[in-house]
């Protein structure tokens, strides 16, 4: 209750003091984010709603807010920056994912999946990183090592973090002296749940296109063809 009253007083003082000047509302959050725009609604003991310059609406619980201030719009090279920002962009972002992929299509093969991604948080939403994976096709006694670029966007809404990701790279066949296996492409979607201030657990659904040599035989004759041994997978992950 005290926190709510203090927050309301801060908003009122800021409005009365700077109401005649061309300023914008700035909401400081406990997770380090800073949201700039115009306050739309403040519900005591519940939430704060703010609209950014691009028309986006963000809603935060009262306990997520540290303070609210009126500030001059940030400018850089003549551009008005009044959208959601963080105190330190381009910070490290690590992701670990494990899961299982079910083969789909004529040549799809089941496999165990693991990804380790080291990346950079470009903004509050977008990140990019380099990933190394592990795919064990246990029915074929074969293991692939994908090397890929991971690009993803994550949107925070209350205690949920819906995300999308795209992985693009090339896989090596660890069961055949790490020779090249083929092109890999994997889009995914999911949602994250905060475990602590800096740790998020996620559940995701993905499709993986993997080009590789597919061995087929008839009697004593065998031959290979380049096919998509794709799979549809479920995974859980941790980001930090």
Give the domain-ending residue among 86, 103, 134. Answer: 86
Do 231 and 147 sit in the same domain of this protein?
yes
Do 39 and 99 sit in the same domain of this protein?
no
Give the domain-ending residue among 48, 65, 86. Answer: 86
Residue 108 structure tokens? 């799809």
CATH code for position 175:
2.40.160.20
CATH code for position 31:
2.30.30.100
Burial class (CB in 10 A: 0-12, 13-18, 19+), 186: buried
Residue-range definition of the domain harbouring residue 66: 2-86
pLDDT, tens digit, 9 for 90 and up, residues 191-216: 998 888 788 999 999 999 999 988 76
Do 66 and 98 sit in the same domain of this protein?
no
pLDDT, tens digit, 9 for 90 and up, residues 81-101: 344 444 445 789 999 999 999
- The end-to-end CA distance of the chain, in Å, is 32
CB 133 within 8 A of CB 115: yes
Do 58 and 100 sit in the same domain of this protein?
no
Do 109 and 216 sit in the same domain of this protein?
yes
Do 77 and 190 sit in the same domain of this protein?
no
| pLDDT for the residue 224 | 79
Kind and range of the H or E element at 180? strand 179-194
Residue-level pLDDT, tens digit, the chain, 240 residues = 555 555 555 555 555 454 445 688 898 888 888 999 988 888 888 888 999 888 888 999 988 888 888 887 765 443 343 444 444 457 899 999 999 999 998 899 999 999 999 999 998 899 999 999 999 999 889 999 999 999 999 988 777 889 999 999 999 999 999 999 999 999 999 999 888 878 899 999 999 999 998 876 665 666 678 999 999 999 999 999
| pLDDT for the residue 46 | 87
Do 43 and 116 sit in the same domain of this protein?
no
Do 225 and 134 sit in the same domain of this protein?
yes
Do 136 and 207 sit in the same domain of this protein?
yes
Closest CA to 114 of 92, 136, 130, 93: 136
DSSP per-residue letters across 109-120: --EEEEEEEEEE
Give the domain-ending residue among 53, 86, 119. Answer: 86
How many other CB atoms are there within 10 angstroms of residue 2's CB atom? 6
Do 128 and 202 sit in the same domain of this protein?
yes
Do 131 and 41 sit in the same domain of this protein?
no
Q: How many domains does the chain have?
A: 2
Give me the half-sphere count of Cα atoms (radius 13 Å) on the Cβ side of residue 158: 2
| pLDDT for the residue 31 | 82
Do 79 and 95 sit in the same domain of this protein?
no
């Amino acid at each position: 209750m005290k926190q709510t009253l203090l927050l309301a007083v801060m908003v009122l003082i800021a409005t009365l003091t700077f109401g005649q000047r061309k300023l914008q509302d700035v909401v400081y959050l406990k997770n380090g984010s800073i949201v700039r725009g115009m306050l739309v609604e403040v519900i005591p003991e519940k939430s704060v709603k703010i609209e950014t310059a691009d028309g986006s609406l963000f809603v935060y619980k009262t306990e997520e807010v540290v303070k609210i201030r009126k500030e001059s719009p940030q400018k850089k090279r003549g551009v008005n920056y009044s959208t959601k920002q963080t105190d330190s962009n381009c910070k490290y972002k690590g992701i670990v994912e494990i899961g299982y992929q079910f083969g789909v299509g004529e040549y799809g093969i089941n496999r165990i999946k693991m990804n380790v991604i080291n990346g950079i948080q470009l903004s509050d939403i977008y990140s990019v990183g380099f990933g190394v994976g592990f795919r064990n096709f246990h029915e074929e006694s074969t293991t692939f090592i994908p090397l890929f670029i991971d690009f993803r966007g994550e949107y925070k809404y209350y205690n949920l973090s819906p995300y999308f990701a795209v992985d693009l790279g090339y896989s090596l066949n660890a069961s055949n002296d790490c020779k090249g296996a083929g092109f890999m492409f994997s889009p995914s979607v999911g949602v994250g749940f905060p475990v602590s201030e800096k740790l998020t657990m996620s559940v995701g659904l993905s499709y993986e296109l993997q080009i590789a040599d597919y061995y087929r035989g008839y009697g004593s004759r065998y031959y290979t063809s380049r096919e998509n041994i794709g799979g549809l997978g479920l995974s859980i992950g941790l980001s930090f």
